[in-house]
Structure 1
Amino acid sequence: MRRALLTPALALSLTACIAGPEAVPTASDAAVPESFLFAPEATPADEAQVAALLPDDPAFAALAETALAQNPTLGQAIARLDIARASAARAGAERLPSLGYDAGVQGSRTNINAPDNLPLETEQVAYSANLTARWDPDIFGRLRNAERAALLRIDAADADAAAVRLALTADIAGAVTDWRTLQAREAALRSDLNAATRLADLAGTREEAGIAPGFDRFRAETQAAASRSRLAALDSARAELLGRLVALTALPAGDVVAALELEDEADMLAPPPPSLPSVLVASRPDIQAAAFRLQAADADLAATAAQRFPRISLSAGIGLLAFAMGDIFDADSVVANATAGLAGPLLDFGRIEAEIDAGEAQTRLAFQQYRGALFTAFGEVESAYALVAAADAEAAATLEEAEMATRAANLADTRYRAGLDNFLTVLEARRVADASGDRAAAALGRAQRARVLLWQALGGSPLAL
């Protein structure tokens, strides 16, 4: 009778499981552009070309090494990675048999007024010790897919940590570049201040000699005051950068300043390396993390769908049971049992179906997040390549402007001393030269900053720190 009832129930349960979840998108369904519009046309870049985009600066190397060892945000990412590993270990352990033991002493007392024809011991003590084993063979893959999803989340957490390292390194490189830019601007402004001071002294000498009006000296001193004002404005930017580097490196301000005092040998701007979208997809950690989460969502969906199938469980136990302490190790005290169970949904009123629908939606969400990561990366690379080109053009133009303005100022000064030009011409030429030097230093800094952004957009490269 039991077999007659079990067979149709099992058949009905399996019939309800035949229809799996609908087809869901995968990473291969996302279209990838074949090339970047603003990238140089050449073979794909190697790691050395990408690494050359970072500043070759001892201060950057020292601060980046410290930050990668003790930055709090990176520490949080590593802790999340450890959490993912623990979850994967737990999911893997679910697929293995579980062994347990128990031991106990039980005392009981019954009603002393038992019928005469039913003699009972009114008080009884039982001693027991058991070893048990349970195992789910996971015939339909529910536990296997749950473990696969957990392992994929380890990969996603690892990629997230790599993305934090990438952003952290880029932030430090950018801050150090900005600091060096401020130093270059300060040097240019101090040179301007010295030139303006010499011009004011000359105007004062000519005023005392009675061959020039006092107005010339006032205009020259105004030019020097303007240079001092721009120099003072650099201090606020320097303080902001110092605060950023303290937060990024988790170092005291004095240690950060000591690192920034390391001498830097100015290098030529590295050429922007070529790259291909396929290389970008393989190297950007945020894209990798999104891809792993998409695969994990698909594995979760498979595990949810497996709930439609029956679960088979196996259990066994062996132990000792005696009613006197001295009999616990007798052969007659040995007891044992073995059980095989089958359980599955028969009529759940759509509970599992709703979970499958939610899993499908989660997978579609993960796919759109993956596409979002892809096109965010492509947009950042396109923007970074265009920014490098524009910054290089600006730097070249401002350097040429500064060189020509300096030559014009020197020529005007020479003509003025020879009596061939008036003081207003000299002052105007010096004003143009002073402004151009500051702009040239700032433009060179923006060109190097653009390379840091391109390095980050391309997925970075291993650092030899």
Structure 2
Amino acid sequence: MIRATHRPRAHLAAAFLPLALAACALQPAPEIATPTPDLPESYFYRPENGTSAGLAALLPPDDPAYAALADAALANAPSLAEAAARIESARAGARRAGAERLPNIAADANVRRNRINTAQFGAAGQQGFIPAEQTSYGANITASWDADVFGRLKAQERAALARIDAASAQARGVRIALLAEIAGSVIDWRVLAARAAALESDAAAALRLAELAGTREQAGIAPGFDRVRAEAQASASRSRLVALESERARIVGRLVTLTGQSAAEVFAALATPGPTMTLPPPPPALPSELLTNRPDVAAAAANLAASDADLAAAARARFPRLTLSGVIGLLAFDPADLFNDSIVGNLAAGIAGPLLDFGRVGAGIDAAAADKRAAFAAYRGAVFQALGDAEAAYGLVAASDAEVRATIKERDDLERAAQLADSRYRAGLAGFSDVLEARRAADASGERAAAAAGRAARSRVVLWQALGGTAAPSVATADQR
């Protein structure tokens, strides 16, 4: 009696002996430090005290061309469609990871025909008591479930959810880059218009000077060479004016690529008159805000979280897996008896774990640990990339504003000098060479001032993107679609 009770216990101990040996080899996941990078308390090129502006004001939200092209891009841009598809792919992966934690239920039906050698059953087979051929009909419902006692599947689901966050942040980064490129292109278009106006004014001034030289030539008080030089100056302004068309073509082509619209639609949007170009003061910001505002930093942080969950899942592969399974169905040797007391079924529970895998699981853990270290390095790289972009953008705004002030003063001074030289020439107090040289200097300064103002406006778009961007009022509704 005692022997009978001890035998099942002996069998149970023998069954769990491999798992007990495997448990001796279990090791926790390696600890990998991922501290938050230390950032300075303020930017080196921080704006002066008292200046303030909203981040959205750095874009041209009041420009109808920007509003129209931004709305079109948010609705039709191929880059945004690709980013949205990547989010859907990540969501599908998370749904699959979540479904792996639930039971798997399947159904099947089958017809089987078996033929055996009846001689192997001796006399019973030779006398026909055992049929040589047999056909069975069956229908089953099967269910299996990994109990996930140690959380391997849960860790995999956590990694999949983190990848949704990474894909969403990357999509936001694509959107911000797209709006920044459109804003910069619209600013370039407006700057070309300002440069063209300056060149037209230069050509008109040169022609007026040529007419004056021609009048003096006809009066015999000036050589014809003066008129020719003035006309050459006007031709130089017109040639620079014609050269602007190539820049316009490049802007249109870039906007076609960005917005997914035709060139005619882009031209129609750019043809609308824009407001006077303004240069709002740069908004104050803290370097720590980059950790939450920058899409690339958020994506890197999400990828780091996913790699951490992957490492946990890899480490938990060392633990045993408990699987429950069951089958219930119908089995009969005659179709007419399939629903007549033919129910069959079974229920099973299994446990399995690594015993001697020659380092397979350990190699998986090492690979996951290396991936986490790489993800942390990528995260630190994204943080300092954001910090460097913001520092450079603030410095660029300060430098471009100083350039604008200098070029405007240069333009005004040279224009006054040209007017004085013209007045002295008309009064006979200066030679034509002095007038022509003063006019040539003034003509070049007007275009330079317009280009400098465009670079200053462009630097604000760079700052907007470096600080993480935000929805401009004109495209807020499109952002919610």
User: Does residue 348 of structure 1 match 2:354?
Assistant: no
Counterpart of 1:4? 13
CA deviation map 1:145-203 (0-9, x unaligned): 11110111111011111111111111111111111111100000000000000100110
TM-fit CA distance, 1:214: 1.4
| Residue 57 of structure 2 is aligned to residue 24 of structure 1 | no
**Which structure 2 residues correspond to residues 28-427 of structure 1 after superposition, within 5 A?**
28-40=35-47, 49-55=54-60, 56-111=62-117, 113=119, 115-118=122-125, 119-331=129-341, 333-427=342-436
Counterpart residue identity of residue 296, structure 2: D
How far apart, in 2, do the equivalents of 1:43 and 1:91 lie? 52
Whole-Å Cα distance in 2 between the matches of residues 90 and 432 of structure 1?
70
Over the matched positions of the two proteins, sequence identity in percent amounts to 58
**C-alpha distance after superposition, 1:73-132 (max 9, x if no partner):** 222111111111111111111001011111122222333555323431223221211111
Q: Is the 8 A contact 1:391 1:447 kept in 2?
A: yes
- Normalised to the residue count of structure 2, the TM-score between the two structures is 0.92
Q: Could you tell me how far apart the structure 1 residues matched to 2:124 and 2:420 are?
A: 134
Q: Distance in 2 between matches of 1:25 and 1:181?
A: 50
AA aligned to 2:31 is A
For residues 272-331 of structure 1, what are the alpha-carbon distances to aligned partners after superposition, in whole Å with 9 as ceiling and x for unaligned?
A: 011111211101001000000011001001001110000000011111112222222223
Name the counterpart of 1:441.
Answer: 450
Once the two structures are TM-superposed, the CA of residue 234 in structure 1 deviates from its matched residue by 1.1
RMSD: 1.6
**1:341 Cα offset (Å):** 0.2
Report the Cα offset of residue 44 of structure 1.
11
2:7 matched residue in structure 1: none
TM-score scaled to structure 1, two decimals?
A: 0.96
Q: Counterparts of 2:92 and 2:49 in 1: how far apart (Å)?
A: 45
8 Å CA contact retained: 1:103, 1:128: yes
1: CA distance, partners of 2:33 / 2:192: 50
Larger mean CA deviation between 55-64 and 366-375 belongs to: 55-64
DSSP-derived class of the 2:113 partner: strand
Q: Deviations over 1:385-424 (max 9, x none)?
A: 0000000000011111111211221222222222232222
Distance 2:286 2:130 in 1: 87
Question: Does the CA contact (< 8 Å) of 2:320 and 2:353 recur in 1?
Answer: yes
Q: Match for 1:116: what amino acid?
A: A
The aligned amino acid for 2:300 is A
Contact 2:91/2:164 (8 A) holds in 1: yes
Structure 1 pair 182–373 and aligned structure 2 pair: CA distance change class (3 A): same
Other-structure match for 2:479: none
Distance 1:326 1:350 in 2: 55
- Where does structure 1 lack aligned partners over 5 or more consecutive residues? none
Q: Which moved more, 1:408-417 or 1:125-134?
A: 408-417
User: Aligned in 2, Cα 1:44/1:3: closer, same or farther, shift over 3 Å?
Assistant: farther
Contact kept, 8 Å, 1:60 with 1:172, in 2: the verdict is: yes
Q: How many residues align?
A: 460
Moved more, 239-248 or 382-391: 239-248
Letter in 1 for 2:28: G
User: How far apart are 1:360 and its partner, in Å?
Assistant: 0.6
Contact 1:140–1:306 (8 Å) recurs in 2: yes
Structure 2 residue identity aligned to 1:51: A
Letter of the 2:123 counterpart: D
**Cα distance change of structure 1 residues 381 and 447 upon mapping to structure 2, 3 Å threshold:** same
338-347 or 68-77, larger mean C-alpha shift: 68-77
| Counterpart secondary structure, 1:330 | coil
Give me the whole-angstrom Cα distance separating, in 2, the residues matched to 1:43 and 1:156. Answer: 37
Give the 3 Å change call, closer, same or farther, for CA 43–186 of structure 1 in structure 2. Answer: closer
The DSSP-based 3-state class of the residue aligned with 1:117 is helix
Q: Using a 3 Å threshold, how does the CA distance of structure 1 residues 290 and 44 change in structure 2: closer, same or farther? A: farther
8 A Cα contact 2:393 2:459, kept in partner: yes
Q: CA deviation at 1:264?
A: 0.4
Write the letter of the residue equivalent to 1:39.
R
Q: Give the superposition deviation at 1:462.
A: 1.3
Question: 2:297 corresponds to which letter in structure 1?
Answer: I
CA distance in 2, matches of 1:32, 1:299: 27
In 1, the alpha carbon distance for the partners of 2:91 and 2:294 equals 22
Q: Secondary structure at the match of 1:34?
A: coil
Contact 1:43 1:274 in 2 (8 A): no
Contact residue 290 and residue 383 of structure 2 kept, 8 A: no
Residue identity matched to 1:97? P
Whole-angstrom distance in 2 between the partners of 1:424 and 1:11? 102
Deviations along 1:332-352, one digit per CA (max 9) or x if unpaired, are x11111000001100111111
